[in-house]
Structure 1
Amino acid sequence: MKFKAFLTENGVNLLEKRFLPALEKMGKICHLYLTKDHAIFLHNLLNGDGIQCIAQFRKEALFDDYRISSQNDDRVAFAIDISLLHRAVRSSVSICSEFGGGPTANRLQIKLVKKLPPNCTQALPFLTFETKGYKSAVIQDVPISKPLSRAQVLELQSALDMAQDMPQTLVQVPDLNQLQNFVDRLKHVGDVLNVSISKYGDLHIQISTTLITLGAEFQKLLVVGEQANGPAEDQNLSAQTRSARAISRGEAQSVLVTVRHFAKSLQCHLAKPDCAFYGIGSQGACLTVIFQFFIPGSRQNDKSISLHCRLPVLDPGEG
């Protein structure tokens, strides 16, 4: 199997300044899945433990002169340490800058190689960054796992397909900072968060302990998918009561998630999304957060980039 490409200036900026810092917060190790058309970072899709996080890029968003081949339908996947990858990209950028002519004027090549490390008898796989200057080249090797077998790649693709199932109702939260400030205060109150989402465009977040109940409600948010008009007679009721009535009418869903997982998912703000959508999966299977990116200088969705998280839900007995 072979993979070789050049990171574009836009690709370097996306990875170094935005997505790798966000992905580092999701977990130390992730899978990097390369296909003919996409580069995809996947957290927890195979072990199912913790937040599933998927960042997907069309190859043109990150690379030019992109070449890949394998016997797995030109698909290659391996596990990689995000912090080591981030460090390699960051230092390659600084090396390019020292040589002059901008971050990628000297071409930052990335490729899969097998090398024999010192004191080893067997060649090991690496993702290698090569920065060429005027008189020299600097090479950095990021260790990776053995590339996944055909069966493992199929399993990863199947998990990715399942993780693409979107909730029937999504509500848009344009101000992630407001939500993050609230959740930061919740960390000191308890461990379990009740999240309900209605077809009316309401997002209700509540934490309860034996001593205190604390909640926040975001109303009249933009709804994508199935939606409904809230009954007029509910308008003067408390947020808790309105949420309970909407759930009883089948016009809202509610799940329990850990405060830790919810707070961690908000770290995706480091990727600088323009807004986020929240939804609850079919039969309350998970809480889904979709981060949306606009084409710079417009309000149009940038379809070359996608990022979303799926938070595992707790059994009501655990709450």
Structure 2
Amino acid sequence: MKFKAFLTENGVNLLEKRFLPALDKMGKICHLYLNRDHAIFLHNLLNGDGIQSIAQFRKEALFDDYRISSQNEDRIAFTVDISLLHRALRSSVSICTEFGNGPTANRLQIRLVKKLPPNSTQPLPFLTFETKGYKSAVIQDVPISKPLSRAQVLELQTALDAAQDLPQTLVQVPDLNQLQNFVDRMRHVGDLLNVTISKYGDLHIQISTTLITLGAEFQKLLVIGEQADAPSEDRNLTAQTRSARAILRGDAQSVQVSVKHFGKSLQCHLAKPDCAFYGIAAQVVVAQFLAKSIARLLLVSIFLCFGMG
């Protein structure tokens, strides 16, 4: 199997300054899944425990001269340490900026290689960054796992297809930083968070213990998908009562998630999305983060597993 491409200036900016810092907050290790058209970063897609995330990019959004081949329909997948990947990319960009000049300036190549490490008898796979200046080249190797087998790639693709089904109702959260501040305060109260989303455009979050109840509500948010008008008789009721009545009517869904995991999902504000949507489907909270790049939409999906600590 072979993979080689050049990162574009836009691709470097997207990964180095936006998505890799956000993905690193999701978890240290993730799958990088490459096919003929996309580069996809996947967290916990084959593991039901904890937060799952998908960051999918069309190849043109990141790369120039993109070449991939394998006996598995030109699909390659492996695990990589996000922090090491980010560090190598950041270092390569610094080298390009400091030493790059001449006709090959700022050409950052990324490729899949096998090398024999010191004190080893077996070659190991690496994702290699090669920075070429006018008279020099700097190579940085990021260790990766053995590429997944055909059966493992098929399992990953099946999980990816299943994970991208959208909830029937999504509400737009206008201020992720404000929501992050609420969740940060809730971490000191308890471990589990109740999240309710209604077709009226309401997002209600609440944490309760025997001693304290703390909650926040965002009303009249933009709704995508199934929506409804809030009953006028509910107008003067408390947020908790309105949420309970909406659930009984079938106009809202509620789920209990880990405060820690919910807080991790909000770290996607580091990717600087243009908008963020939350919904509930199959006992998970789904967050969709959309960001525009080269007239395309980049999509990050965050899945919070039900009741996980």
1:133 is the counterpart of 2:137? no
Number of aligned positions between the proteins: 308
**Residue 304 of structure 1, CA deviation:** 4.1
1:305 is the counterpart of 2:298? yes
Aligned partners of 1:101, 1:196: CA distance in 2, in Å? 55
Secondary structure of the equivalent of 2:292?
coil
One-letter code aligned to 2:127 = L
Structure 2 contact 169–223 (Cα < 8 Å) conserved? yes
One-letter code aligned to 1:205 = I
Trace 1:1-319 onto structure 2 (pairs within 5 A). Answer: 1-101=1-101, 105-282=105-282, 285-295=283-293, 303-314=296-307
Structure 2 contact 5–64 (Cα < 8 Å) conserved? yes
**Residue 101 of structure 1, CA deviation:** 4.9
Post-superposition Cα deviations, 1:264-309, rounded to whole Å, max 9, x if no partner, equal 1111111111221010004xx211011111358xxxxx53411110
RMSD: 1.5
Post-superposition Cα deviations, 1:197-220, rounded to whole Å, max 9, x if no partner, equal 000100001010111111111000
TM-score (norm 1): 0.94
Which residue of structure 2 lines up, in the alignment, with residue 299 of structure 1?
A: none
* Identical positions, percent: 81
One-letter code aligned to 1:303 = R
Structure 2 contact 101–133 (Cα < 8 Å) conserved? no
Post-superposition Cα deviations, 1:168-191, rounded to whole Å, max 9, x if no partner, equal 000001111111111111111111
- Aligned structure 1 segments of 4 or more residues deviating by more than 4 angstroms: none
**Structure 2: gaps of 5 or more residues:** none
Post-superposition Cα deviations, 1:8-47, rounded to whole Å, max 9, x if no partner, equal 0000011111111111111110000000000000000112
Aligned partners of 1:232, 1:3: CA distance in 2, in Å? 59
One-letter code aligned to 1:310 = F
**Structure 1: gaps of 5 or more residues:** 297-301
Q: Are residues 152 and 209 of structure 1, via their aligned partners in 2, closer, same or farther at CA, if it must alter by over 3 Å?
A: same
Aligned partners of 2:262, 2:146: CA distance in 1, in Å? 32
Post-superposition Cα deviations, 1:56-95, rounded to whole Å, max 9, x if no partner, equal 0000000000000001100000000101100100000000
Aligned partners of 1:101, 1:257: CA distance in 2, in Å? 51
**Residue 105 of structure 1, CA deviation:** 3.4
Aligned partners of 1:148, 1:26: CA distance in 2, in Å? 22
Secondary structure of the equivalent of 1:294?
strand
Aligned partners of 1:304, 1:222: CA distance in 2, in Å? 19
Secondary structure of the equivalent of 2:50?
coil
Aligned partners of 1:62, 1:174: CA distance in 2, in Å? 27
Secondary structure of the equivalent of 2:42?
strand
Moved more, 110-119 or 286-295: 286-295
Structure 1 contact 174–274 (Cα < 8 Å) conserved? no
Q: Are residues 135 and 105 of structure 1, via their aligned partners in 2, closer, same or farther at CA, if it must alter by over 3 Å?
A: closer
**Residue 165 of structure 1, CA deviation:** 1.0
Aligned partners of 1:118, 1:203: CA distance in 2, in Å? 54
Structure 2 contact 25–267 (Cα < 8 Å) conserved? yes
Post-superposition Cα deviations, 1:137-158, rounded to whole Å, max 9, x if no partner, equal 1000101000000000000000
